[in-house]
Structure 1
Amino acid sequence: MVLPRELPDLPVRAALAEITRTVTDHGVAVLVAPPGTGKTTLVPLALAETGKVVVAEPRRLAARAAASRMASLLGEPVGRTVGYSVRGDRKVSRDTRIEVVTSGLLVRRLQNDPELSGVDTVLLDECHERHLDADLLLALLLDARDGLRPDLRLLATSATVASDTLATLLGDAPVVRVEARTYPVDVFYNPPMRGERLEQCVSRTVHSALTNREGDVLVFLPGAAEIRRVADALRGVDADVLPLHGRLASADQDAALRQGQRRRVVLSTAVAESSLTVPGVRIVVDAGQSRVPRVDHRRGMAGLTTVRVSAAVAEQRAGRAGREAPGWVYRCWPENEHATLPRYPEPEIRTADLTRLALELACWGTPDGSGLRWWDAPPAGPLAAGRETLTALGALVDGGVTDRGRAMARLGLHPRLARALLDGAAELGAKATAEVVAVLDDDTLATDVDLEAALRALRANPGRWRREVERLTALVPGPARSRVDPALVVALAHPERLARRRSPGSTVYLMVNGTAVEAPGGLGAPEWLAVAVAERRPGDPHGRIRLAARADEALAVSAAAPLLVEGDEVTWADGDVVARSVRRLGAIVLRERPLRNPPTSAVREAILEGLRREGLDLVRFSPSASTLRDRLALVHRVLGPPWPAVTDDDLVATAQQWIGTARNRADLGRIDMTAALRGLLPWPQAGRLADLVPERVEVPSGSMIKLDYSGETPALPVKVQEVFGWTTSPTVVDGKVPVVLHLLSPAGRPVAVTADLTSFWAGSYHQVRSELRGRYPKHRWPEDPMTAPPTRHTINRR
């Protein structure tokens, strides 16, 4: 292969010889080059001079676009020297020297052929985006190179400064840097006005930019739904409004990447951040959001979540305006918030559902990923959760992959969807199952929350849905019959999302996994639903169903049979012990009846669970119990063990020692907590409790005054006249803790707080005497309190 004589004047052109030489000499290298430098299209052409090149792109759209651009530079159609392979679409031939593929597809190819026979160089493009498939691919390629293909050349490209880590990961690989030629970009901040939704702010900003600036407009939005709404709001503008996202038909994607006769407004997701070039752009409008995979393990909901972009992504987006000439970027957030953006995007491996990753690792022979070189190793908890899911689906047994698991992996779907396609095809027929799976894999196809209604609409206007159905149908064997049962297919994929209405007429459903979700209008109010997609926004009391199909109890029990449990249960529920015989599907109780004589041990455990959940509000502390608890707290604080700690958490932790025979909430409220606390005292130290922290102390007047241990320091509330002549304040806990005196007026009101009586008599007492003897003339206020006799009778007696 010979490079074309006329190459675009892009910054990377001057470095092609150095890049090729570095990769050839070292076998591994890192290329750091910002978007727009030509690294995606010119570098593969140069590397192909030394053998076959496979380019891995994070997105299908980018793979197709890169192949098309390289083929055009060679003056050839796609599929000759340069081809591509993405899910459901492939254009290659025996003459193909450069094949552009998605990262996920190359993982599958590597699983089938770990040596990557016939491939000389792999170029991993846009590594900085940290997609899950790309991170996995890099780890597997390095493992294959270490063992089977030491001659396989790897070039990793990145648009950010994360090159040092990447170079180390590749084995101290050399780094080649190419700087971009950019024009100045003016940045403006245009946040939403009061009461204005973000999409309204974006539309308003686009209108203003079209009026006041020149050139095409590139708008960054988080997803296809936002793109549709902004496109509707821009109807009538003097420009072509074009969507750009990965779910569009190829022709529509190509249209957005070509300059036309009129000005264009390209409404794009994150696909245009770095791996695509949109020509003619002088203006960028950035909504400041992106959609990323997240999983909520506690609520059993995984999917795409809208988050703020990172500062690095915002900078990349802004750079799109300065590729061809000076430009302008409008950021739809307040300027003072920009400094609070995260520095870089969070790697997907830290936040996404790892079930599919776990299956690929099991197929590779390292279920826990140990022994592989990772940019970020998969978190142990989510990876273990993925393996548990795979075990339930029959893909793993004792951590090893089964034949069923390998069959699921070959489908290239999420393992849940692969299970639904395999088992659903056997029950309903391949085509009927594929129709539902195609929607579950791309829920943006559904224009109705009711899955059955969404399928009817798709059958009337099939488009890319039909092409995907045909592809999936060809992947699996199945009987000729075609019985449509969307709920069964959904339940096969997500048995934990089967949901039952909480009460007649309610719109709130309880899913098998215990999460409550609310059904919007359009589904009616069936007793059972198979929930395909649900999300929960911060602050909402329940999740919200976005796509579901009507089901029934028989289907639920059949599809989620491993989650069906029958037996006796003694639990703490609704604030008390509940004993019943139940038949339940996960968290959903199907049948129940009271259990008259539950086992004592089970009741005791339920009581303990109630205390762990609700705390010591379930018991009652009498005044004497509260005082004893305060005394014990002081002794433990000063002397430590074996004197017991008596905080709420500590008492709950020792509840087995003091709950006695309590069988319900009422019994807990009747427990004698004074006796319970005394039961925790150590022996023989318990005999010294009264000496260490006495309940009362004798004052000079002869009165036995009760100590108050409720504060940080024990206090003695006593009238001034009772402590005349007293110069040393009392102490407790073997003299280690001084008692603070709260000196009271004849009416019992505090007049002074002191732990140093000598200083009080010499100083503050005289001010107290001056203020109070006029108010209390019948009471004793001697000039010399040090020599005056103390008395409990504060009124002068004749």
Structure 2
Amino acid sequence: MKLPDLPVREVLDELHDALTAHGTAVLVAPPGTGKTTVVPLSLAERTEGRIVVAEPRRLAARAAASRMAALLGERVGETVGYSVRGDRKVSQRTRIEVVTSGLLVRRLQGDPELPGTSTVLLDECHERHLDADLLLALLLDVRGGLRDDLRLLATSATVASGRLAELLGDAPVVTAHARTFPVEVSYQPPARNERVEATVARAVRTALSEVDGDVLAFLPGAGEIARTAALLGDLNVLPLHGRLSPARQDAALSAGPERRVVLATAVAESSLTVPGVRAVVDSGLARVPRVDHRRGLPGLATVRVSAAVAEQRAGRAGREAPGRVYRCWAQYEQASLPAYPEPEIRTADLARLTLELACWSTSDGAGLSWWDPPPVGPLEAGQQLLHTLGALEDGKVTERGRRMAALGLHPRLARALLDGAERVGPQSAAEVVALLDNGGTLTDVDAELRRLRDTRDERWRTEVRRLSRLVPGAPEAPDPALVVALAHPERLARRREPGSPVYLMAGGTAAELPHGSGLGDVEWLAVAEATRDPGRAQGLIRLAARADAELAVTAAPNLVSEVDEVLWAGDVVARRVRRLGAIVLSERPLRNPDPELVRQALADGLRKEGLNLLPWPPEAVRLRARLAFLHHVHGEPWPSMADEDLLATAENWLGTARRRADLARIDTVQALRTLLPWPEAARLDQLAPDRLEVPTGSRIRVDYAGGEPVLAVKLQETFGWLATPRVSGVPVVLHLLSPAGRPAAVTSDLESFWRNGYPSVRAELRGRYPKHSWPENPLTAAPTRR
């Protein structure tokens, strides 16, 4: 067979030698070099056994098989075949089989030795899809223990291959250089407040006016593609994404007589060739898996592409002739792009990966060689979900778990299909699961199911037929909400208040119905999909079905609880509450609540509203200030009197209080005395006396409120007082008062005051109070209260 003249041909001998000598190799080859098609055909010519090519996407798997079969002049299913979920074309003659990464994982679980397979080619490893990372780890485990003769070839479109080669046992790296044409780069940033669809549509029209040939535009998702197509309605527009039927995908991948505008998602970045393209319009955005683990809202997020992805997209314009790329961002933003895309294993929901690991007898992935190991938190969240679904028990996969894994669905959807088939019948369950797996265009599940039936959506119908054959069950009345709730019980939701579009989900997250959803009059929803955009306090409901309280309890009995609650809501509220997760189903007053729960509620009220709920007579205020002074000077064991520290011990001295009104009757003096340390408390009056005796014999109260001892005393009562009094070694601050009780001087050094300050104070007071005695020598004068 004569292989097409593509750049990878120049390194085929080197590649075969590397695989023969080491059993593993890494091929670095940019898009368009022929690594996906020429390399498998060459391997089949020189190697016994079947060649299995693993692609990250179904669309890429079908396209690669079709291209190789065309090169051989055959139909797909003869020498070259493919197997993807719900579609398989292979025969006894098949030597090269293209599969999705996820399907090959399932095949390994069934028979890890892969009998009859000599070589596995892992294509597009640089994209770091979750299934591909898992597949690589499992294949390395197989090669290390069961099949040391299994040859592994990993391909990457980027040069960051060092870690990949290390994982493959320091495998040799073979590089093929693309013969590409020059690509001119221009930047067309969006206008102010311009949506991405409008920016891309404007750039497409510019490209058509400046460049001959077809235009390939990259957009983040199917929704953006549909809206951009509407803006380009007068042009020959072809969409290309994973939700399309195979026939419509093939149309976008086949050259036509008219100029075309192909609007594609990331599927066209590296593993697919779109012929005839001379210009690329890059939105600079991609849709990637993201999980808000705290709120339990997995989904897809729109993010900026990496520099490596932007370069791959640009390269599509120079495959066949000089081309041009129009980047829909400002040129200065280029330098701030991340170098490479974030691996899915760091950001995606890991429930399905966790189930596959459990089936591999390593529920945490220990012992496997990972490109990046799965993060502990998301892995534990996956394990917890699998326990809830009955797929894991004591860390080991159950028989039910193996049945769920065999379905090739996310564990939630597998549970919905298995249990839903028993309750509503295989057909009805499969219809809803197929919708949940692929997403819809309407918010109302029932309306979306009607639309799919009316439009005779072939892709959805094919998946429904496939799923319904996988599970037993007797036909029953359809109940879409029940199937949704079986998949996502924690997303059962109840309207917060009449007329409000905001719902509280059983998992504790609030989510809002969009305007015009058709579900605005419903109290209960079974939410299938909800997302939360950055900066939003609550989620947005994307897909949901009408439900009711009875359905909610039926679908999620493990979330139902009945508990006695005693809490603070402006006062102590005691009630018996029946809940579905965070949702209150019913409540009634509790007559005799647990006293300990009451104390906790009162303490919570004090923490929320402050210690001013308690009475603070002067004696309590003074005692608290004295103790605060001792804690400041001596430290432990004298207790801190800060609000937060008193609140921390509030439950110990609330006594028999049962409601807010009782707090106003608490003896705070006695409560503070319970905090005194013993035997040190016996020296309280010595270390921080409430009163001090002055030379006249008067016992005057010391003020500790400011953190230091202050004594306000008439100046005449201090005549003859030679040294400054001290409390716990701290000089007392004397506020020396006039006969009218106004401060005449402040000092914490009496000796210095008598010597330096008194003469001027004496002169002032003699003029103001001439009838009073103001001796020249206050040290020898008799003190007086008059």
TM-score of Structure 1 vs Structure 2, range by shorter chain? 0.7 to 0.9
Amino acid at match of 2:488: H
Match of 2:408, SS? Answer: coil
Amino acid at match of 1:226: E
Match of 2:117, SS? Answer: coil
Equivalent position of 2:373 in the other structure:
377
- Cα 1:683–1:18 shift into 2, 3 Å: farther
**Which residue of 404, 411, 420 maps to 1:408?**
404
2:19 aligned with 1:23: yes
Alignment of 1:362-401 (within 5 A): 362-401=358-397
Kindly provide the CA deviation profile for residues 385-413 of structure 1, in whole angstroms up to 9, marking residues without a partner as x.
22222222222222222222111111111
Kindly provide the CA deviation profile for residues 565-606 of structure 1, in whole angstroms up to 9, marking residues without a partner as x.
23x412436454332123322222222210011111222334
CA contact (8 A) 1:583 1:592 kept: yes
RMSD in angstroms over aligned alpha carbons?
4.3
Equivalent position of 1:127 in the other structure:
125
CA contact (8 A) 2:568 2:604 kept: no
Equivalent position of 2:506 in the other structure:
512
2:469 aligned with 1:454: no
Amino acid at match of 1:332: C
Equivalent position of 1:572 in the other structure:
567
- Cα 1:336–1:678 shift into 2, 3 Å: farther
Equivalent position of 2:586 in the other structure:
591
Equivalent position of 1:474 in the other structure:
469
**Which residue of 4, 7, 11 maps to 1:7?**
4
Tell me the distance in 2 between the aligned counterparts of 1:319 and 1:788: 100
> Shift in Å at residue 371 of structure 1?
1.7
Equivalent position of 2:88 in the other structure:
90
**Which residue of 426, 435, 447 maps to 2:422?**
426
> Shift in Å at residue 284 of structure 1?
2.6
Tell me the distance in 1 between the aligned counterparts of 2:28 and 2:402: 37
Q: Which moved more, 1:335-344 or 1:345-354?
A: 335-344
Amino acid at match of 1:499: A
CA contact (8 A) 2:625 2:704 kept: no
Amino acid at match of 2:148: P
Tell me the distance in 2 between the aligned counterparts of 1:325 and 1:779: 105
**Which residue of 262, 281, 284 maps to 1:285?**
281
Tell me the distance in 2 between the aligned counterparts of 1:242 and 1:583: 54
Kindly provide the CA deviation profile for residues 429-456 of structure 1, in whole angstroms up to 9, marking residues without a partner as x.
211221111111111xx33222111111
**Which residue of 14, 21, 28 maps to 1:32?**
28
Tell me the distance in 2 between the aligned counterparts of 1:89 and 1:110: 19
- Cα 1:114–1:666 shift into 2, 3 Å: farther
Tell me the distance in 2 between the aligned counterparts of 1:388 and 1:102: 28
CA contact (8 A) 1:698 1:704 kept: no
Equivalent position of 1:796 in the other structure:
none
2:349 aligned with 1:353: yes
- Cα 1:611–1:252 shift into 2, 3 Å: farther
**Which residue of 74, 77, 80 maps to 2:78?**
80
Equivalent position of 2:547 in the other structure:
551
Match of 1:120, SS? Answer: strand
> Shift in Å at residue 372 of structure 1?
1.6
- Cα 1:517–1:706 shift into 2, 3 Å: same
CA contact (8 A) 1:33 1:159 kept: yes
- Cα 1:400–1:266 shift into 2, 3 Å: same
> Shift in Å at residue 241 of structure 1?
1.4
- Cα 1:284–1:700 shift into 2, 3 Å: farther
CA contact (8 A) 2:121 2:152 kept: yes
Equivalent position of 2:523 in the other structure:
527
Q: Which moved more, 1:323-332 or 1:523-532?
A: 323-332
Equivalent position of 2:100 in the other structure:
102
Tell me the distance in 1 between the aligned counterparts of 2:612 and 2:150: 68
Tell me the distance in 1 between the aligned counterparts of 2:60 and 2:734: 79
Tell me the distance in 1 between the aligned counterparts of 2:336 and 2:750: 55
Tell me the distance in 2 between the aligned counterparts of 1:56 and 1:670: 76
Tell me the distance in 2 between the aligned counterparts of 1:75 and 1:316: 30
**Which residue of 236, 246, 250 maps to 1:250?**
246
- Cα 1:69–1:342 shift into 2, 3 Å: same
Match of 2:267, SS? Answer: helix
- Cα 1:733–1:205 shift into 2, 3 Å: farther
CA contact (8 A) 1:618 1:665 kept: no
Structure 1 residue runs without a partner (length 5+): 781-786, 791-798
Equivalent position of 1:151 in the other structure:
149
Alignment of 1:671-682 (within 5 A): 676=671, 679-682=674-677
> Shift in Å at residue 171 of structure 1?
2.8
Equivalent position of 1:500 in the other structure:
494
Alignment of 1:729-744 (within 5 A): none
CA contact (8 A) 1:29 1:175 kept: yes
- Cα 1:47–1:730 shift into 2, 3 Å: farther
> Shift in Å at residue 687 of structure 1?
5.8
Amino acid at match of 2:189: P
Tell me the distance in 1 between the aligned counterparts of 2:158 and 2:732: 65
- Cα 1:533–1:777 shift into 2, 3 Å: farther
CA contact (8 A) 2:6 2:33 kept: no
Kindly provide the CA deviation profile for residues 690-715 of structure 1, in whole angstroms up to 9, marking residues without a partner as x.
787889999999998856647xxx79
Match of 1:303, SS? Answer: strand
CA contact (8 A) 2:724 2:751 kept: no
Amino acid at match of 1:602: L
Tell me the distance in 1 between the aligned counterparts of 2:306 and 2:724: 62
Percent identity of equivalent pairs = 66
Structure 2 residue runs without a partner (length 5+): 770-775, 780-786
Amino acid at match of 1:134: A
Kindly provide the CA deviation profile for residues 449-492 of structure 1, in whole angstroms up to 9, marking residues without a partner as x.
2211111111111221111111111111222x352211111122
How many residues align? The count is 765
- Cα 1:129–1:704 shift into 2, 3 Å: same
Tell me the distance in 2 between the aligned counterparts of 1:191 and 1:169: 40
Tell me the distance in 1 between the aligned counterparts of 2:695 and 2:55: 89
Match of 1:8, SS? Answer: coil
**Which residue of 171, 180, 205 maps to 2:203?**
205
Tell me the distance in 2 between the aligned counterparts of 1:743 and 1:42: 101
- Cα 1:180–1:645 shift into 2, 3 Å: farther
Tell me the distance in 2 between the aligned counterparts of 1:250 and 1:756: 95
CA contact (8 A) 2:252 2:262 kept: yes
- Cα 1:236–1:401 shift into 2, 3 Å: same
Tell me the distance in 2 between the aligned counterparts of 1:667 and 1:489: 51
- Compute the TM-score of the two structures, normalised by the length of structure 2: 0.85
Match of 1:79, SS? Answer: coil
Equivalent position of 1:657 in the other structure:
652
- Cα 1:442–1:718 shift into 2, 3 Å: farther
> Shift in Å at residue 220 of structure 1?
1.7
CA contact (8 A) 1:697 1:706 kept: no
Equivalent position of 2:190 in the other structure:
192
CA contact (8 A) 1:29 1:167 kept: yes
Tell me the distance in 1 between the aligned counterparts of 2:711 and 2:206: 74
- Cα 1:608–1:114 shift into 2, 3 Å: farther
Equivalent position of 1:273 in the other structure:
269
- Cα 1:758–1:228 shift into 2, 3 Å: farther
2:296 aligned with 1:300: yes
> Shift in Å at residue 14 of structure 1?
1.4
> Shift in Å at residue 164 of structure 1?
2.2
2:484 aligned with 1:490: yes
Amino acid at match of 2:199: C
Q: Which moved more, 1:628-637 or 1:659-668?
A: 628-637
> Shift in Å at residue 494 of structure 1?
1.6
